[in-house]
């Protein structure tokens, strides 16, 4: 690939400080867009939508047509892995995910090899999107962090995670074995995504919050490190973005020990922390408040300027601290993209 066509996102992930940061938003494909809601109404259910390459490619591309984002993220979900391993997963309308009882861990382990094949539709979505997307715009693949996925598998639904954390204390061996199984299936899934056209890989550890230092090492740092190492051992050099959401003061430990190219920071991350990570050779992504994006106005403008000023002097990817909220006005998204892409 010639320099001129190297997407900005990949240059930022390679450690370059650019005249302006690349921009994309978590959950850019989804309910904030009327065209998504129309497409969604035609799908049988959310899981079949994710496993339909034609529809999923369309959902991935919708925000790329509307906004000047520098990257697309494949339309899929972190809960496709437990389903591929044999645990029942469905989405209750207006409520969120529900999972059947946690199968015996050794039964799940026996499904790891077959699980990647059951996710081949996501590879097909990636290939379709890569073929349609302009070369200067990058395509991101992703998976959930093993701990976050395990919290859903253990509790059977979204929760405050106290049940899963208690389970991790009371059944330590079982949880460690479950995380091993998830590391293995996630690494294979990400290798498949890279081969299908993903140019960056993101690990969404959305529930990294509230963990004591030793638990964070055991449940988050260890598994993330193992995933990156397994993907590298398979000969895949695709850059990684790690997102330990809610890790707070433990983010520095994460950045020091997990060999990801970029660390995605959440809303509470201080500017000084981002600068410190950049000085240590990490690309920083984040961390605009999704509530402020929805609210809009002068406070939003001021905060966008503040991030550009604070982090624009090092390798930086402009993004939110968590996903776009469904009732976010589209004009607010367009306004921020316009500001960042002309900086």
**Count of alpha carbons within 13 Å of 30, Cβ hemisphere only?**
17
List 158, 163, 248, 296, residue binding ligand CP3 (CB under 6 A): 158
Q: Of residues 219-258, which lie at the interface with ligand CP3 (CB under 6 A)?
A: none
Max CA pair span of the chain: 55
Residues 15-34, mask of contacts with ligand CP3 (x by CB under 6 A): -----------xxxxxx---
- Secondary structure of residue 242 in the 3-state scheme: strand
Whether omega for the bond prior to residue 168 falls within 30 degrees of 0, making it cis, is no
Q: Which of 52, 70, 77, 184 is catalytic?
A: 77
List 77, 124, 184, 261, residue binding ligand CP3 (CB under 6 A): 77
**57 lies in the binding site for ligand CP3 (CB under 6 A):** no
Cα 114 to Cα 304: distance, rounded to the nearest angstrom: 45
**64 lies in the binding site for ligand CP3 (CB under 6 A):** no
Contacting residues for 241 by C-beta, under 8 A, at least 6 apart: 13, 140, 200, 201, 202, 203, 260, 261, 262, 263, 264, 283, 285, 317
**193 lies in the binding site for ligand CP3 (CB under 6 A):** no
Q: Which of 70, 130, 152, 218 is catalytic?
A: 152
Residues 256-295, mask of contacts with ligand CP3 (x by CB under 6 A): ----------------------------------------
Does residue 342 have an active-site annotation? Answer: no
Q: What are phi and psi of 45, to 5 degrees?
A: -155, 170
Q: Of residues 34-53, which lie at the interface with ligand CP3 (CB under 6 A)?
A: 40, 46
Q: Which residues of 110-131 are buried (b: 16+ CB within 10 A; e: fewer)?
A: ebbeebbebbebbbbbbbbbbe
Contacting residues for 33 by C-beta, under 8 A, at least 6 apart: 62, 63, 66, 330
Does residue 176 have an active-site annotation? Answer: no
Region binding ligand CP3 by CB under 6 A among candidate stretches 75-83, 160-168, 188-196, 223-231: 75-83
**186 lies in the binding site for ligand CP3 (CB under 6 A):** no
Catalytic residues: 27, 31, 40, 77, 152
Residues of this chain that bind ligand CP3 (CB under 6 A) = 26-31, 40, 46, 73, 75, 77-79, 96-97, 142, 158, 204, 206, 323
């Amino acid at each position: 690939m010639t320099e001129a066509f190297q997407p900005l996102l990949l240059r930022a992930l390679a450690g370059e400080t650019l005249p302006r940061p690349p921009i994309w938003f978590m959950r850019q494909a989804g309910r904030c867009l009327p065209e998504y809601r129309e497409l969604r109404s035609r799908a049988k259910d959310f899981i079949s939508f994710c496993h339909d390459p034609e529809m999923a490619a369309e959902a991935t591309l919708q925000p790329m047509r509307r906004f000047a984002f520098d990257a697309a993220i494949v339309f899929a979900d972190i809960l496709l892995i437990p389903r591929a391993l044999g645990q029942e997963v469905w989405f209750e309308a207006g409520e969120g995910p529900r999972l059947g009882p946690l199968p015996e861990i050794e039964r799940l382990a026996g499904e790891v090899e077959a699980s990647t094949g059951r996710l081949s539709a996501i590879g097909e979505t990636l290939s379709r999107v890569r073929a349609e997307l302009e070369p200067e715009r990058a395509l991101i693949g992703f998976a959930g962090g093993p701990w976050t996925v395990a919290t859903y598998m253990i509790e059977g639904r979204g929760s405050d995670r106290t049940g899963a954390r208690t389970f991790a204390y009371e059944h330590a061996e079982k949880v460690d074995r479950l995380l091993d199984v998830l590391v293995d299936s996630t690494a294979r899934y990400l290798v498949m995504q890279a081969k299908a056209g993903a140019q960056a890989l993101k690990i969404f550890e959305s529930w990294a919050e509230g963990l004591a230092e030793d638990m964070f090492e055991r449940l988050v740092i260890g598994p993330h490190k193992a995933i990156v190492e397994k993907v590298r051992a398979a000969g895949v050099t695709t850059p990684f973005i790690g997102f330990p959401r809610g890790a707070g003061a433990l983010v520095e430990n994460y950045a020091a020990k997990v060999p990801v190219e970029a660390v995605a920071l959440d809303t509470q991350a201080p500017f000084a922390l981002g600068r410190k990570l950049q000085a240590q050779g990490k690309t920083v992504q984040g961390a605009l408040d999704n509530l402020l994006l929805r609210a809009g106005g002068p406070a939003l403008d001021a905060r966008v300027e503040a991030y550009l000023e604070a982090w624009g002097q090092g390798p930086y990817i402009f993004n939110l601290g968590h996903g776009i909220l469904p009732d976010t006005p589209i004009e607010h998204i367009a306004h921020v993209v316009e500001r960042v892409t002309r900086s």
